[in-house]
Amino acid sequence: MRSVDRTLEYVVRSARRRGHGIECRMLSSNSDTACRNTRLGHGVTVAPDADQTMHKTMRYNTLLFDLDGTLTDPFEGITRCVAYALEGQGITVTDRAELACYIGPPLQQAFEHFHGLDAAQSARALADYRERFADVGLYENVVYAGIPELLARLTASGRQLFVATSKPWAYARRIIAHFGLASYFGKVYGSEMDGQRAEKHALLAYIMRQQKLKPGETLMIGDRRFDILGARHNGMDAVAVGYGYGQPEELAAAEPLGVFESPTALGDYLLAPAPVSAPAETVTIR
């Protein structure tokens, strides 16, 4: 949904499937606001609801942010380092766009899955990747437009924020600090260099134990299915961002609560009063 009035109070609720589409109902304090169709997979229809009752409470106390494809766009750094690592295995990549699939999943598994390397080869490729990434690729990165403003709005609202990335925390903390985002986060969590907690579900379970978080008050925000499924595995809600590297079909299959096409739209949703009942189906808000 585009150009949402900042005075608009909305929640998405009472969702149900109809054929290939999803019909969702929207609560609005502005009855003149037009609802427009958006598309995710076979499409999403959003319609106004006459019932405008909602709880005036915070929507999630704790927010867990993925890093790559959510806070920053790491395309240059990751694809250059993957190409460098594959070169060491005798594989030449002429179009780095083909390597965007490496943004998100654990890297050693990705080398095996996408290029058929065996365990020994993938371990060597990962070492070569890190050789370049630690000094160069780490900074071949850019913060998405609107992210600093989003983080400032959320921290000002009293929420606690954490980074939850499959990338080793040693790298992630340097990236967050380099771009001046460290002050917004209570802590930056990631995997260990030996691969521990590289799977998102294991990482989220670890964060919840360390921070003593309640699943019902915690939201995972990411751009890939790993983020959504990892959150669900731990009993927490998850939303997706549509500007990252998850394809629409991938996100539709993972069924996040919503897909947000910009940091501003995500912030408007999170800062709206909490609904009577949580969204039940996927929606796209622009």
Count of helices and strands (H, E) across the chain: 9, 12
The phi, psi pair for 272, rounded to 5°, reads -75, 155
Q: Which residues contact 55 (CB under 8 A, 6 or more apart)?
A: 273, 274, 275, 276
Which is nearest to 189 in space by CA: 166, 159, 223, 218? Answer: 166
The residue ranges of DSSP E strands in 108-186, in sequence order, are: 142-143, 160-168
223 is catalytic: no
CA distance 241 to 257: 11
Residue 259 pairs in a beta bridge with 240, 284
> Tokens at residue 171, please?
């790298």
| Catalytic hit among 5, 32, 49, 66 | 66
How far the first Cα of the chain sits from its last, in Å, is 4
Q: Which residues contact 167 (CB under 8 A, 6 or more apart)?
A: 67, 68, 175, 190, 191
Residues taking part in catalysis: 66
